[in-house]
Structure formats: structure tokens, C-alpha cells
Structure 1
Amino acid sequence: MRIQQLLYLEKIIEKGSINEAAKELFLTQPSLSTAIKELEQELGIQLLLRSKHGVTPTLDGREFLIYSRQVLDQVQLLEERYKNQRPRKQTFSVSAQHYAFVVHAFVELVKTVTTDEYQLTLRETETENIFEDLSTFKSELGILYLNSFNKQVMKKLFKEKQLHFTPLFEAKPHVFVSRNNPLTKKERLTLEDLEDYPYLSYEQGETNSFYFSEEILSTWNRKKEIKVSDRATIFNLMVGLDGYTISSGIISSELNDDKIIAIPLDHEDTITIGWLKHQQRELSPMATIYLEMLTKHIENYGFAIL
């Protein structure tokens, strides 16, 4: 196995095409294909699925790429130290439920990047997609919550998909409403207080499982309910329709959430928010820095890190 083969494989997966990768590497397509086939034969596994539409990594290929990138990162450190080479493009990806503190930490992470080139991805997405992204190694980290209702089902899925959950903090449920909502006249709210207001929640795609809901009390019967797909829309509907949603209580005024406030909800449930990673994956330096940013931001809101 040669370092050059690892670089070739990374470029092919980045481009999704052996032909396009060969052009950037200034190689012929046959010679590049031969190099990867020799690597597959040496390893005894298939790394790429080849079709007329291009190439995609197999599951073995995705797993191999995790270890390959760690090797290439070490090679980069050697080259920077002894050859003054141009740094490799930094990469990182996180998939999360819709939390402002996740975005805030991502913003802070980007500000720390000193290289001229990077490829960072933040996916605010449905709960099922978080599992898919981690299982296929599209994302390095996942952020979601557990509570008494979904914990048993979620932990079963973690085990099946070889995911490890690390709790970050616990929060009591809060109701998010606009500053102009009549509910703001109360210091605390009950479920009865909410009955006449539109309930806003994030849609969960085809699965739409109650256990995948991003909001607690997902099975509670409501007279008015609106499903949305993104945080900008849910905030707009809070302002425009006096709608509400239920979450952790963390709102980031630095990210234009100044029109929304959080009011404690009288309910005995507790929300545990934490991060996920695949058991076979070691955290990259970028992931470690991101988690540091995330915990610092959470602590700034007065929450104790578990």
C-alpha cells in the first residue's frame, strides 16, 4: 500500500468520477483505475462502486477512508514540518436536530480555521437522517436529544447502528414564542395555557415516528398544529401566527433570535442533549475543536456539562 494510492482514492471520492479525478491528478484514466484496483486486490475488499454515472464508496470503502484520512493527516503534519508544503484542505461535517447553539458553535469553529481552503458541512436535518449520515460516514458528529419517552427506542437504534452517545447537558422544557405573544405575560406556562395557540414542530419525513420528533410531548393531542422543515420558518411563524414550540431553552440572540424568548414549561420531563459518533471512528482535530466550542457555548448559557 502506497501513500499515493490513498491520495488517489480520496480525490476519486471527492470528484465522484475516476475520469474527473484523473484530470486533476494529471493521470490517464486507465492508470488511475489500475492503481485503485491494485489497492483493492491488496486489501481484499471492494472500495468503489462503479457505474456509468460515476463512482461511490462502498461501506468498506467509507470505513477504509476514515483510516486513510488519518494517515494522510499525519503525512500532512510531516510535510508541513519538514517540507513546508501547502496544508491539506480541512474537512468536517456535523448533522443535528434544529438547535441554535449547534449553529453558533459551528460559526465559532469556522472562525478558527487558518488554512486558505476548507470544506465544512452543517446539516440541520431530520432525526433519521442523522443516523444515516453517521452510519455512512457522511458526518463525523450528530447532535440530538433523549428523554423518558424516546430513550429506550433511541438507545436500541444506537446499538444497532454502532453509534456511541455522549450526553452534554440536561434541560427542563421551555416554550419558544415571539416577544409579542400574549403568553409572555406569564412567567411559567402549563399545557393548558398552550391549547389555543398553533403548535409548531419539525417534520420528520416519511418515517414521521413519534420517537424521532424533535419536540417532547409529540403524542399530546393539539387543536392546531403546523409542521415545518427549518428554523427560519418556525421562527417566522412564531412571530406571524403567535405559534409556539417546545425545546431546551437556549436561544442565541447573536444569530438573530432576538424576537424569540423562552418561557419555562411546568412539566416533569427532562431533556438530555448530547452528541453521537460512529464507534469505529476516531474524532478528528476539527471535531474535537467543535465539541470544545459547543460545550463552551452551552456553559455560557448557565448549563452544567455532564
Structure 2
Amino acid sequence: MRLQQLIYFEKIIEKGSINEAAKALYLTQPSLSNALKELESEMKVQLLVRNKQGIIPTSEGREFLIYCRQILDQVNLLEEKFKNEPLRKQNFSVSAQHYAFVVHAFVELLRTVNADEYKFTLRETETENIFDDLASFKSELGILYLNSFNQQVLTKLFKEKGLEFTPLFEAKPHVFVSRSNPLVAKKSLKLADLEDYPYLSYEQGETNSFYFSEEILSTWDRKKNIKVSDRATIFNLMVGLNGYTISSGIISSELNDDKIVAIPLEYNDVITLGWIKQQQLELSPVAQKYLELLEEHIRGYGFDIIV
């Protein structure tokens, strides 16, 4: 396997077409096709398939691409340091439950990128999709929480899917409400205080398992329930309907315009927020930088990082 083959493979994935990749690489299409066949033959695996939309990677191809990019990133760092070569196009993807601190760190990461071209993806998604994204190598990192209710089930899933969980910090449950909600007059809240208010939670698709819920107390019976699919909607409903949800207590005023507040919930539970990745993969430099920024942002809200 040669370095040039990895460059060719990444370009084909980027363009979604052997013909377009050949043009970008100043090669003939037959030459690029032969190089790809040689790589697949040497690796003893089919990396790409053709369909009506063009070229797409197989599941093995997506996994191979992760390793490929790690190698090319390291080569690029060497060239940048010793040959003053410009940075190559950077790629990074993270899948997460709906947390403002995840978005904030992602914004900060993009501000540090010193490149004319990059392809970054942030997927705020259902919990099951996080597992699928990591298993299919669509994302390098996943962000979610564990607590006493879901820990046994999710830990079993981590093992089955070859994932490892690294805790970031622990938080006590907080109720998120708008500043105009009558509940803000209280310094802390009991479950009984919430009975007459609409409960807002994130839908979890067809599986809809209580263990995949992004909110604790997912089995608690409530009179008023509203399911949403994104953070913007959940915050709008907090303001418009005096709704509430339960989360970690971290709110980014920079992203949420100071309209939402977090009030401690008097309930004996601990939320452990953390990140997951494929066990066999080493984190890329971009992923490591993202985690550094994530930890920095979390510390800024007064939480201790678990070491």
C-alpha cells in the first residue's frame, strides 16, 4: 500500500466520482480506476460501490477512510512543519445528544481551523443514531450521558458495538425553563412543582426506548407531554408554553440568548456526561482538539473534568 493510493481513495470519496476525482488529481480515469483496484486487491476488501448517484463507500470503505485520513493527517503535519506545505482539507464529525456545550465547543473548534478547505459535521441526533454513526464510521466521536437508570443497558451496547465510553463530568439534574416561567422564583424544584407544566423531551425514533431517552425520569408519568426533534424548538416551547425539560444544568448564553435558566431539581441522581469512540481507532488531531475545547468549556461552567 502506497501513500499515493490513500490520497487517491480520499479524493474519490470527496468527489463521489472517479471521473471528477481523476480531473482533480490530473490523472486519466483508467489510471485512477486501476490504482483503486490495486488498493482493493492488496487490502482484500471492496472499498467502493457504484450506484445511480455515483460512487459510495462500502461499510468497510467507511472504516478504511477513517484510518486513511488519520495517516494523511499525520503526513500533513510533518510536511507542514518541515516543508512548509499548506494544510490539507480537514475532516471531522461528531454525533451527540442535544447539548449546548457540544455546539459551543464545535464553534470554537471551527474558529481554530487554519485551512482554506474543511468538511466538519455536527449531528445532534437520536441516541440510537449515535451508535449507528460510530458503528458505520460516519462520526469519530459521540457525546451522551449515563445515569443509574440507563447505564447497564448502554454499557452492554458499548461492548456489543466495540465502543468505549470516557466520562467527562458529573452533574446534578436541573430543570430548564424560560426566564418568564413562574418557577424561576424558586431556588430549587421538586417533581411536584412540575406537574402542571408541559414536559418537553426529545423524540427517539422508532425504537423509542426509555433507556435511550435524553432526559432522566423517562418513565415518570406526566399529564402534559410534548416531543420535539431539535434544540431550537424545545427552547421556543419553553418560552411560548412555559414548558420544561430536565438536563445537566449547562446553558450557553452565547447560543441561547439568555432566555433559558437552569434550576436545581431535588432528585437523588447523578448524570455522567461523556464521549464514545470506536475502541480500535486512535483519535485524530482534530478530535483531540475538539475534546480539549469541550473540557475547557465545561470547566468554564464550574464543573470538574473526570480524570
TM-score (norm 1): 0.96
Alpha-carbon contact 1:126-1:203 (below 8 Å) kept: yes
Structure 1: gaps (5+ residues): none
Number of the residue aligned with 2:210: 210
Distance in 2 separating the partners of 1:232 and 1:163? 30
Task: Within 5 Å, give how 1:262-273 maps onto structure 2.
Answer: 262-273=262-273
Alpha-carbon contact 2:94-2:139 (below 8 Å) kept: yes
Alpha-carbon contact 2:87-2:114 (below 8 Å) kept: no
Distance in 2 separating the partners of 1:53 and 1:180? 50
Number of the residue aligned with 2:286: 286
More deviation, 188-197/58-67: 58-67
Number of the residue aligned with 2:150: 150
Letter in 1 for 2:94: V
Distance in 1 separating the partners of 2:82 and 2:247? 50
Number of the residue aligned with 2:62: 62
Distance in 2 separating the partners of 1:272 and 1:84? 43
Alpha-carbon contact 1:251-1:257 (below 8 Å) kept: no
Letter in 2 for 1:222: R
Distance in 2 separating the partners of 1:100 and 1:83? 39
Letter in 2 for 1:71: I
Q: CA deviation at 1:238?
A: 0.3
Cα shift readout 1:83-123 (whole Å, capped 9, x = no counterpart) = 43232012211111000111111111111112222211111
Letter in 2 for 1:242: N
Distance in 2 separating the partners of 1:2 and 1:244? 55
Distance in 2 separating the partners of 1:127 and 1:15? 30
Q: Helix, strand or coil for the counterpart of 2:286?
A: helix
Number of the residue aligned with 2:38: 38
Indicate yes or no: 2:207 matched with 1:239: no
Alpha-carbon contact 2:108-2:293 (below 8 Å) kept: yes
Task: Within 5 Å, give how 1:1-306 maps onto structure 2.
Answer: 1-306=1-306
Letter in 2 for 1:86: P
Q: CA deviation at 1:256?
A: 2.5
Letter in 1 for 2:233: T
Distance in 2 separating the partners of 1:83 and 1:172? 50
Distance in 1 separating the partners of 2:302 and 2:53? 51
Letter in 1 for 2:191: L
Distance in 2 separating the partners of 1:275 and 1:2? 33
Q: Helix, strand or coil for the counterpart of 2:92?
A: strand
Distance in 1 separating the partners of 2:195 and 2:233? 21
More deviation, 159-168/110-119: 110-119
Q: Call closer, same or farther: CA 1:167–1:82 in 2, change over 3 Å.
A: closer
Aligned CA-pair RMSD = 1.3
Cα shift readout 1:122-172 (whole Å, capped 9, x = no counterpart) = 111111111111111111111000011111110011011111100011111
Cα shift readout 1:173-210 (whole Å, capped 9, x = no counterpart) = 00000011011111111111111100000111111111
Q: Helix, strand or coil for the counterpart of 1:289?
A: helix
Q: Call closer, same or farther: CA 1:81–1:302 in 2, change over 3 Å.
A: closer
Q: CA deviation at 1:17?
A: 2.1
Distance in 2 separating the partners of 1:172 and 1:24? 52
Distance in 2 separating the partners of 1:144 and 1:107? 19
Distance in 2 separating the partners of 1:270 and 1:75? 43
Distance in 2 separating the partners of 1:108 and 1:141? 16
Distance in 2 separating the partners of 1:16 and 1:35? 16
Q: Helix, strand or coil for the counterpart of 1:9?
A: helix
Alpha-carbon contact 1:174-1:249 (below 8 Å) kept: yes
Q: CA deviation at 1:5?
A: 1.1
Letter in 2 for 1:268: N
Distance in 2 separating the partners of 1:286 and 1:295? 14
Q: CA deviation at 1:227?
A: 0.6
